[in-house]
Amino acid sequence: MELDEKKYLYLLVLLPILVCIFFFNLYWKRKKQREFGDLEMVKKLSPERSTFKPVLKLVVVLLALTCLIIGLVNPKIGTKMETVKREGIDIVFAVDVSKSMLAEDVAPSRLEKSKQLVSQIINQLGNDRIGIVAYAGSAFPVLPITTDYSVAKMFLQSMSPDMVSSQGTSLDEAIQLSSKYFDEKSKTSKLLILISDGEDHSEGALAAAEEATKLGMKIITIGVGTEKGATIPLKENGVIKGYQKDQNGETVITKLNQESLRTLSKSTKGYVYGGNTKEVLEYIKNALNNIQKTEFEATQMADFQSQFQWFLSFAFLLLFLDIFLLERKTNWINELNLFNEKK
């Protein structure tokens, strides 16, 4: 069983509160009756009033509220098992997190734009498995291959230049690490989507890309930034404290190096400029349509069905009964003499 809306469980704290209010009200009534006169005399003045019915009404109301709350929580029960076969490809997103990606020539910044592109690409995926790699001067595994897109987006948003200590743009290490994500023995199609500004790239990227293609990997490169370039702001708590400077104390101007990214694309699936999100998504969509999908998983999955209707029906039934539970004695209960009320 699984609970759909667990947040509503907090409403259960209302139940002990209602019990406290009931007993406080009962205490207050008894106190006022004593002020009015002798309790035995008061009972004789209202012989048909039951001491059992108010407690019964409280129990009925508490049960009804409990059922309503459980209905809001919407418990689900797996009623059957079915085999689900998935067809798709394995995709690794390699995202450049070097300091040059903090430049704001692309709003809100190159890095944030890269995250947006990856997130939008994930949104249009179907049954594909995905992984994430971060890289700068070295590569760092962020998320292994998974089908949990929500977790992937969570890890994606946490990516920053602080993840990698060495700076630069080591495209070759990003490709090599990404290739380790894929199972060489698997026949599933393999795609690396590499996002970068291409600046300060290390040597050997082309050789790494060619080696990857021999292993069956396809690579798409996405360029983020502008060729005009921009400064690299250094922020503290969201406030700009200065700009990145080189060894000579000059302010660094970082520019998009499309040529290095296009060079990689010659032996791969291609290059696309990341300035227009719509164009990128269309390009990726067309590329995915041209990649053969492979059945890579057959999972037993429970078909969970909502059970809230049963609890709501029972709750309304109890509330309906509560309307007819008057606080005077019922004849058959009176005959049972449950509280030894007959002398």
Mean pLDDT value across residues 215-230: 89
Residue range 83-101: mean pLDDT, rounded:
84
Q: What is the pLDDT of residue 237?
A: 76
Question: Token pair of 78, please?
Answer: 């797996």
Which of 32-57 are b and which e, b meaning 16 or more Cβ less than 10 Å from the residue's Cβ? Answer: eeeeeeeeeeeeeeeeeebebbbebb
Q: Chain-centre distance of CA 244, in angstroms?
A: 35
- Structure tokens that stand for 100 in this block: 């040059």
A 10 A CB-CB count for 212 gives 23
Strand partners, 141: 133
Q: For residues 154 and 194, state if they share a domain.
A: yes
**177 & 322 share domain:** no
Rg (CA), the chain: 34
Task: Find the helix or strand (DSSP H, E) in which 92 lies.
Answer: strand 90-96
In eight-state DSSP terms, residue 110 is: H
* 143, 273: one domain: yes
pLDDT number for residue 153: 92
Give me the CATH number covering residue 288: 3.40.50.410
pLDDT at 280: 93
Across the range 188-208, mean pLDDT stands at 82
Based on the fold, state whether residues 38 and 164 are members of the same structural domain. no
3-state secondary structure (DSSP) of residue 34: helix
Are residue 142 and residue 179 in the same domain, yes or no? yes
Tell me the pLDDT tens digit for each residue of 228-262: 989 888 887 778 888 888 778 888 888 888 888 88
In the predicted model, is pLDDT for residue 70 greater than 80? Answer: yes
Task: Please tell me which residue, 294 or 101, carries the higher pLDDT value.
Answer: 101
Residue 247 in any domain: the answer is yes
Provide the 3-class DSSP secondary structure of residue 342. coil
Residue 264 lies in a domain: yes
32-46, 72-86, 224-238, 309-323: which has the minimum mean pLDDT? 32-46
Residue 296 contacts by C-beta under 8 Å, 6 or more apart in sequence? Answer: 86, 87, 88, 90, 129, 186, 188
Residue 339 has pLDDT above 50, yes or no: no
Q: What is the mean pLDDT of the chain?
A: 80
Arithmetic mean of pLDDT, 12-37 = 80
Of all residues in the chain, the percent with pLDDT exceeding 70 is: 78
Of residues 307 and 151, more confidently modeled: 151
Instruction: Check residue 279 and give its pLDDT.
Output: 93
When mean pLDDT is compared across 30-44, 126-140, 187-201, the lowest value belongs to: 30-44
Is the same domain home to 121 and 145?
A: yes
**Residue 328 burial class via C-beta count within 10 angstroms: exposed 0-12, middle 13-18, buried 19 and up:** exposed
The boundaries of the domain holding residue 323 are 2-74+307-336
Task: Give 299-343 as a DSSP string.
Answer: EEEEEEEE-HHHHHHHHHHHHHHHHH--SBPPHHHHHHTTT----
Same domain, 230 and 318: no
Q: Are residues 69 and 157 in the same domain?
A: no
* 186 and 137 both lie in a single domain: yes
Total domains in the chain come to 2
Lowest-confidence region among 117-126, 211-220, 279-288, 318-327: 318-327
Q: Is residue 341 part of a domain?
A: no
- The reply to whether 79 falls in a domain is no
Q: Give the pLDDT mean for 2-14.
A: 79
Residue 343 lies in a domain: no
pLDDT of 332 > 50? The answer is: no
**pLDDT value for 122:** 94
Nearest to 181 by CA among 110, 90, 65, 107: 90
Task: State the chain's maximal CA–CA distance in angstroms.
Answer: 105
| Rounded Cα distance, 31 and 25, in Å | 10
How far is 36 from 21, CA to CA, in rounded Å?
Answer: 22
Looking at the structure, do residues 283 and 312 belong to the same domain, yes or no? Answer: no
Does residue 277 fall inside a structural domain? yes
Task: Please indicate, yes or no, whether residues 172 and 113 belong to a single structural domain of this protein.
Answer: yes
* Mean pLDDT computed over 213-228: 88
pLDDT value of position 52: 64
Name which of 197-211, 212-226, 283-297, 315-329 the model is least confident about: 315-329
Residues 26 and 127 in one domain: no
pLDDT value, residue 168: 64
Average of pLDDT values for 63-82?
78
pLDDT band for position 84 (cuts 50, 70, 90): low
Closest CA relative to residue 96, chosen from 188, 7, 196, 12? 196
Q: Which among 258, 261, 175 is positioned nearest to 213, based on CA atoms?
A: 175
